[in-house]
Structures are given as structure tokens and as C-alpha cells.
Amino acid sequence: MAEDKKQDNNFFFQEVIKKTKTGITFPKELREALFDEDGEVFFKLVVPSEKDKIILEILSDVEAKTLSEKVSEKKPKITKQASEKRKEKGTSEKIAPNWSEYFVYDFKNREKVQPILESAFYKFAETPVNLDDAMGRIKYALVSFLTATKTENAKLYFSIIKLLIDVIERFDQPNLIDWIFEKIVPNIKSKFLYELALLELLEISLKTKRFEKAELFIFYVLRNIDDYPQTELYNIFNSFKQLVKKVRYIERTDKIDLLLKEKLMEYGEGVEDNDYKIQIVEFLEDLNYIELAYGLAKAIQKGLPPDSVKVGEIRKIVKRLYTAPITEDKIN
């Protein structure tokens, strides 16, 4: 007992610390006492065969390099417990993250974020799901890899949204829709990615038949489109293109249809460029608003001079729309 006390007195620092979901963190006062904030610090990490302690020994750069070379030569194979653990509790071998779908836009900390998102994904895939654990990992990824660049952060946020949208669809977690909208979307400081995030929420809300949510999200999308200055018609019409693509083949409510019709007709009748007018006709046709598409196409046709290069194109569109099946009499 006296010997143990003597050993305790020889310690420079001693404290009880706890392993959290994200790992082990050195106490602040120890970091300040031992480490230079700007310099790299290398350790030799040893776990005895009894697995009852973790030993860290501070190394110099030269010692670290020498030891790394020795260890890599005779490093024992470690069992795949960690990766197997992710897929336990009823998780199918075929279930896996779709990284190419999540990481649409590359960003600086992608390689650091991906393992955390992967672990969160497999937590969502467990049966029963440990939602607190899974969301804890998502929250850690959201706050731990931010940079001073708004665009980089927006890409990080959007990637996490894409993963969560996949989780909602594959693991039946529709309550995440509200969480994404309230906790992530407001932090996206890129107009383009903010709009794409809303489109993702709009689509998943329609797929899961959360129609009230979908009506809210389309309102925000249309408002975001209206916020573009009229000098940026390319961006406006690209936004309409993405919107139509998201909702074209999904069941929509009457309110959503009304909002889409009104907004598309507002731009179809408001712009002067015939190329953009024709795009609106095509959007209306894609959404099966045939009567409106036909009426706008006829108005464009009547307004064209006889020698316009668009005469042939608009004539084909009018003919196609006239023969398309609709529910009401066509406009003459």
C-alpha cells in the first residue's frame, strides 16, 4: 500500500478520463503543459496482452520514423471485429453506404468525415436502431470538420443531408426530415446548395407522403428562385429544371400543382426571350399541365415573326401538345 502511494506521488499528472463516442481526449491542462499547439507529437502506443491498460510513450520525430518502419514490417493482423460490429444486430451484408451519391461535391475534410458517417450509417441499419448513438455521430461530423470557408462547409452539410435522405428512405426514419430542415439547412450559406437541399427534402417528403412538409419545402424553393435577379435567368431556369426533375414522376397535391402552375406561367409570360419561353412550355408538358403548355405555346407561335428561326420548332411543339391526352378542352 505504501509502495502504491509512493508511485502515485511520482506522477506528474493523474486524472480519471472517460472514453466517449468520438474517442479519448487529453485533458486541456495536460495538453497545455506537454504539447506545443502548432507542433506534431508522436506516440508509441502499446496494449499488453492482458488488455488492461493503454501505454503512450512520447517519441521524437526520428524515434517515430524508426519505430514506424519496424512496426510495419512485423505488424500482426488484426481481426475485423470493428467492421463486423457495424453490420451486426440484423444488418444485411448487402446494405452499404452509397458514397458516390452522398459526396456529389468534393470538400477538404471528406476523408476524415467519411469513416464517421459510415459508422453512423451502420448504426441506423441496426435492428433495433440505436437512434441516439447514430445521431451522436452525425452531430459530431456536423461540428467537428467545419472550416473558415462557407462553401466548404456547405458541401459538408449537403453530403450529410444526402446520407440522411438515404437513411430516411432505406431505414424508415421520416422524422429526420424535420431535423434536417431545422438543424442543417439554415446553416448552408450557398444559395445553390441551399436550394438543392430543399429539393432533396421536397422529394423525400413526397415519396413518404408527408405532403404538408412537401408543400412547405416547395414554397421555400420557389422563394429561393424568385430571389435571383432577373439578370440571372440562366440560374432561374436551371433551378426550374432541377425542380421539375424532382417532382415529375411523384404524386403531388393540388396545392403543389397550383403553386407550380402559377410560378411557371409567371415566368413563361414574363420573360421576353423565346428560348426561355419554350423551356417553360416543356416544363409544363413534363408535369402534365398540357392545357397550360398548349396555351403558352400558341401564344409564342402567334408572337413570332414569319421569318423567325423558331417557327418550325414551335409548330412541332404545338402539334405535339394538341394531340397529347388532356382532361379538358384545348385552348383554341
- Split at pLDDT 50, 70, 90, the class of 68 is low
Q: Which residues contact 120 (CB under 8 A, 6 or more apart)?
A: 134, 135, 137, 138, 141, 163
Residue 45, all three cell numbers: 502506443
Residues 106 and 159: their CA atoms lie apart, in Å, by: 9
The rounded mean pLDDT for the chain is: 86
Question: Residue 49 region, left (φ>0) first, then alpha (ψ -120 to 50), else beta?
Answer: alpha
Taking residues 130-151, report their average pLDDT: 96
pLDDT tens-digit readout, 238-291: 999 999 999 999 999 999 999 999 999 999 999 999 999 999 999 999 999 999
- Residue 329's pLDDT is what? 38
- Residue 102's pLDDT is what? 98
Residues 155 and 184: their CA atoms lie apart, in Å, by: 12
- Split at pLDDT 50, 70, 90, the class of 64 is low
Residue 95, all three cell numbers: 446494405
Taking residues 176-186, report their average pLDDT: 98
pLDDT tens-digit readout, 195-214: 999 999 999 999 999 999 99
Contact status, residue 320 vs residue 293, Cβ threshold 8 Å: no
Identify the weakest region by mean pLDDT among 64-68, 119-123, 320-324: 64-68
Contact status, residue 216 vs residue 260, Cβ threshold 8 Å: no
- Residue 38's pLDDT is what? 55
What pTM does this model have? 0.71
Q: Which residues contact 202 (CB under 8 A, 6 or more apart)?
A: 214, 217, 218, 221, 243, 246, 247
